[in-house]
Structure 1
Amino acid sequence: MEYTLKTLVATMLAAAAISAGAAPQEVAPDGFAQARQQFKAAAGGDSKASDAAIAAFSALAAANPSHPLLAAYEGAATAMKGRDAMMPWDKLKYAEKGANAIEKALAQLTPEHDEALFNGTPESIEIRLVAANTLLSLPGFMNRGAGGKRAVQAAIDSKVFGQASPQVRASLLNAAASIAANEKRGADEIAYLRQLAAITPAGKYSTAAEARLKELGQ
């Protein structure tokens, strides 16, 4: 009860501050960092971690319904459970359930989520990254790729894109460059790669972008 009350009060105060035009502020609830570590472990191939991530984000989402990022992470973890399932019908079941949860979370975004920060990154940007990574990874016959592309573009076009962490911006720009390359949009690919190469501190995506630009004679 104490944890739930604490979380509820923090959420209400954050919402009040946002509506009053206050500066962006951290709203990540207790347990978010640990839940995301479980999620990252699952993304790295630890099949047992997906269940832990689902449980953690399910609890966080239930306690913080005004922050759809938490439900999006739960959906992404559910989709990864489908990735690791043995039976084809289970793979499809979990993938569909996860994708549906992510698209529902995206539909809940409002301008207030540009001002809510999770570890310094606007919630609206990170939720679109989670959506893009999941929806673009699903098989083509599921017809989720278009939603993933829209999430990437919406994030990059957002007025708060520059406020996201370098790692988040790099991931989204890398996705945008890959989409452009696959669609044979050379000028767009180069533009995204240049933005990616300029991100500091440099990371794996920035280094790869520089190499790709050289391949393209840029």
Structure 2
Amino acid sequence: MKPHHAPARRRHRLVVQALLSLSLASTLSLSQAASEAPQALAQAQQLFLAATQGDSAAIEKAVEAYTALLRAEPGNPSLMAKLGAATSLRATTTMLPWKKMSHAEEGLAYLDKALALLNNTHDAAAAGQIPIALDTRFTAASTFLALPGFFNRGPRGNKLLQEVLNHPQFAQTPLAFRATVWMQAGRAAEQGERRDEARKFYQLVQEHGAPQASKAQAKLKALQS
């Protein structure tokens, strides 16, 4: 009995760890957006940040906050993507393996729907802001790439990440967001054993003097060993 269930328990533990790691890829972009958002959205974003950083009490509050926001704007892909990411974090609140999987899959369903809602109107943004298309794709990409391989989301996560990097508006987004994307791209390249590509992204973070420059430097140093 124990040998049969041990691999499943390890897989579920990986799901929990992967979902928590989403904060490493999204914290700066969410914080930047919150400074310009209406109060309800800013509160939801802060709850989500707290949830991804390990505050289990904030998870359900974040889900409730994004649910309310999405109810007011049911066609907003960015809000739906954030609800999906927050819903996935519910997997960290239960010890029951089937519930962990259920929460993760429910969150992924929201993310899939958010991506399906994107159209050309979501590509534009005011100066200094992040287009909905980029925010939505990056939220989904970060979540997909964080998940263990048995979810089979890695290839789509990499594709979405490339779409963000290649988007015509990417160069006009705030540096904090661009650097967050570069750091995620560097990690994805490392996971794919593409060390030269990883170095390129970490060097971009350093060269632009982004807030994550020290983390990028540490990554570059590790790649030299």
**TM range, normalised to the smaller chain?**
0.7 to 0.9
Give the 3-state SS of the residue equivalent to 1:152 in structure 2. helix
User: How far did 1:57 drift?
Assistant: 0.7
Q: Does 1:181 align with 2:207?
A: no
User: How far did 1:135 drift?
Assistant: 1.7
Q: Which position in structure 1 is the counterpart of 2:220?
A: 213
Question: For residues 84-95 of structure 1, what are the structure 2 equivalents within 5 Å?
Answer: 84-95=93-104
Q: Which position in structure 1 is the counterpart of 2:15?
A: none
**Aligned equivalents of 2:117 and 2:83: distance in 1?**
15
User: How far did 1:119 drift?
Assistant: 7.9
Question: For residues 74-93 of structure 1, what are the structure 2 equivalents within 5 Å?
Answer: 74-93=83-102
Matched-pair contact (CA < 8 Å) for 2:128–2:173 = no
Between structures 1 and 2, the one with greater helix share: 2
Q: Which position in structure 2 is the counterpart of 1:48?
A: 57
Higher RCO by CA contacts (8 Å cutoff, separation 6 or greater):
2
Equivalenced residue count is 189
CA RMSD of aligned residues (A): 2.2
Q: Which position in structure 1 is the counterpart of 2:143?
A: 134
User: How far did 1:215 drift?
Assistant: 5.0
Of the three residues 150, 153, 159, the one matched with 2:159 is 150
Q: Which position in structure 1 is the counterpart of 2:82?
A: 73
Which amino acid is the alignment partner of residue 93 of structure 1? S
Q: Does 1:37 align with 2:32?
A: no
Of the three residues 154, 158, 168, the one matched with 1:159 is 168
Change over 3 Å in CA distance of 1:58–1:116 after alignment to 2? farther
Which amino acid is the alignment partner of residue 210 of structure 1? Q
Change over 3 Å in CA distance of 1:76–1:30 after alignment to 2? same
User: How far did 1:148 drift?
Assistant: 1.9
Give the 3-state SS of the residue equivalent to 2:146 in structure 1. coil
Q: Which position in structure 2 is the counterpart of 1:23?
A: none
Q: Give the structure-1-normalised TM-score.
A: 0.78
Of the three residues 103, 119, 134, the one matched with 1:125 is 134
**Aligned equivalents of 1:148 and 1:215: distance in 2?**
24
Change over 3 Å in CA distance of 1:56–1:110 after alignment to 2? same
Question: For residues 10-29 of structure 1, what are the structure 2 equivalents within 5 Å?
Answer: none
Change over 3 Å in CA distance of 1:118–1:136 after alignment to 2? farther
Q: Which position in structure 2 is the counterpart of 1:13?
A: none
User: How far did 1:126 drift?
Assistant: 1.4
Change over 3 Å in CA distance of 1:169–1:189 after alignment to 2? same
Q: Which position in structure 2 is the counterpart of 1:106?
A: 115
**Sequence identity (%):** 37
Matched-pair contact (CA < 8 Å) for 1:121–1:165 = yes
User: How far did 1:121 drift?
Assistant: 1.5
Q: Give the structure-2-normalised TM-score.
A: 0.76
**Aligned equivalents of 1:214 and 1:51: distance in 2?**
39
User: How far did 1:88 drift?
Assistant: 0.4
- Cα offsets for 1:66-124 (capped at 9, x unmatched): 32100110110000011332210110000001011112101211121122469822111
The unaligned stretches of length 5 or more in structure 1 are 1-26
Q: Which position in structure 2 is the counterpart of 1:96?
A: 105
**Aligned equivalents of 1:126 and 1:89: distance in 2?**
30
Which amino acid is the alignment partner of residue 171 of structure 1? T
**Aligned equivalents of 2:83 and 2:128: distance in 1?**
18
